[in-house]
Amino acid sequence: MKLLHLSAERIASAVRSGEISAVELLDEVVERIRAVEPKVNAFITITKDRAYEKAKDVDRRVRRGLKVGRLAGVVVAVKDIICVKGVETTCGSKILKGYLPSYNATVVEKLDMEDAVIIGKTNMDEFAMGSTTEFSAYKVTRNPYDLERVPGGSSGGSAAAVASGEALLALGSDTGGSIRCPAAFCGVVGLKPTYGLVSRYGLIAYANSLEQIGPIARNVRDCALSLSVIAGYDPRDSTSLTTQPKDYLEELNAPHDLKGVRIGVIKEFIGEGVQKGVASEVLDAIYSLEELGASVGEISLKSLEYALAAYYVIAMSEASSNLARYDGLRYGLRAPDQGLNWSRAYAKNRRLGFGEEVKRRIILGTFALSAGYYEAYYLKALKVRTLVLMDFQRAFKEFDVLAGPSMPMVAFRIGEKIKDPLELYMCDVNTVPANLAGLPAISIPCGLSEGLPVGLQLIAPPMEESRLFKVSYSYESLGKWSFTLKP
């Protein structure tokens, strides 16, 4: 039996029953990594020895008849912005080269408690700033569907690892679409949860008020299983919501009937700049849900015209504050021949440690917060954020779920857009509104355009991840898309 073709849900069940062993699965994953990683470049760090220790421990407890967790033996990849104790965590940046966290992120603790096997830390745009994973200081990750194209970003390594069979599940972080973008480009499922549903403790900050950790999986049920594990209140995170744990997977066992579900197509998401092939595949997917009883209509959210600009002002402003702590004096990169002048040492460490995109965003964010410009830029962006939230609240009085393309285009070629920051920023036009409003949003594969995956994005009211999973799983049950390992 080729274990790599099984779902995470099926693997965990088989490991718990003793039908297969965690080591047996890990052997297949390690062999797959050996075969495809030189082409894909999904990982910065591979923790093979640590993974085998965990897999052997899971098998030992199964043999003794002891209880094992919901992710027993499931091989998981973790984005390199999430802390794993004793494992180098770089955020894709030279400035954190050699940094070994002394603690685990809450989501890593939860994975470990449920007996997942962490195989490594995935590549990413430096400090999660990018939509292509070309801004990593270490390597360029390639799209498993076409190795000459980008996998999306900033969680491109996580999506590529799942799509290529180097992991069954992965964790990413989503500040303005950084889970949904690579999920769409790589033909996998990616969820940005409600802000505060998943603990951010141990997530190295880029923009605190926007970012969320979320799962990337091959199918909707595996995504629901992952969220069931990592969601929940954490007293160590001041942004964490005091919610009761839910079993999102169990809720999917009900019939797939969508009778009475109202789906609104966001007019601004299917407009100028969206590739025709992408729009066609997404609309076909949305209207196919009518077969299951859903009703479909169109809605306009006027404030979305300003959402992208507001997002980048807010994100860059928060980044300029968050990244001020990286001086190269306490941990990470320390440039040689610094002398005793603190300000020169600080400037040199940051000049050599940060990449060009990070520097650009720090400078722009500092400018937006500076005296004389704060009200013109940052304060105005916060007002737009409120308008976006109000528009969504109005829309959800009319519709249960909002829909549109995750990305306005399919994956483009490596190097094609990297020289034009504004063109790259425009790629996020459909994903940033959910982050501004703190809403849950999911990207599911819905077809191919030019031979490359297209993502359908669904957005729900706060804490309605179950609604997203229900609609997504219903679409998946129509059989219009099936996961295949690439390359």
Residues catalogued as catalytic: 79, 154, 178
Q: What is the DSSP letter of 198?
A: B
> How many Cα atoms occupy the beta-carbon half-sphere of 378 within 13 Å?
18
Element (H, E) at 344: helix 342-353
Q: For tokens 């968050």, what's the residue?
A: 322
CA separation, residue 106 to residues 110, 233, 420, 452 (Å)? 6, 10, 37, 35
Q: Which helix (H) or strand (E) holds 189?
A: strand 189-192
What residue spans of 168-208 are helical by DSSP H? 180-186
CB atoms < 10 A from the CB of 349, how many? 21
Question: At a CB cut-off of 8 Å and minimum separation 6, what does 376 contact?
Answer: none
- Per DSSP, the residues of 256-275 read ---TT-EEEEEGGGGSTTS-
Q: For residue 326, what are the contacts with CB-CB under 8 A and spacing of at least 6?
A: 95, 96, 332, 349, 350, 353, 354
With CA atoms as reference, report the closest residue to 353 among 325, 316, 315, 318. Answer: 325
Strand partners, 105: none
Element (H, E) at 167: none
CA 148 to chain centre: 22
Peptide bond into 421 cis (omega under 30): no
Strands of the 295-299 sheet, one edge to the other: 43-46, 117-122, 75-79, 169-174, 212-217, 189-192, 441-449, 452-459, 401-405, 262-266, 295-299
Contact 169, 158 (CB under 8 A): no
The DSSP annotation for 78-121 comes to EETTB--TTS---TT-GGGTT---SS--HHHHHHHHTT-EEEEE
Asked if residue 75 lies in contact with residue 92, where contact means CB atoms within 8 angstroms, the answer is no
Closest listed residue to residue 444, CA positions, set 174, 249, 154, 184: 184
| Beta-carbon count within 10 A of 382 CB | 15
Could you tell me which of 428, 433, 422, 439 has the C-alpha nearest to residue 385?
433
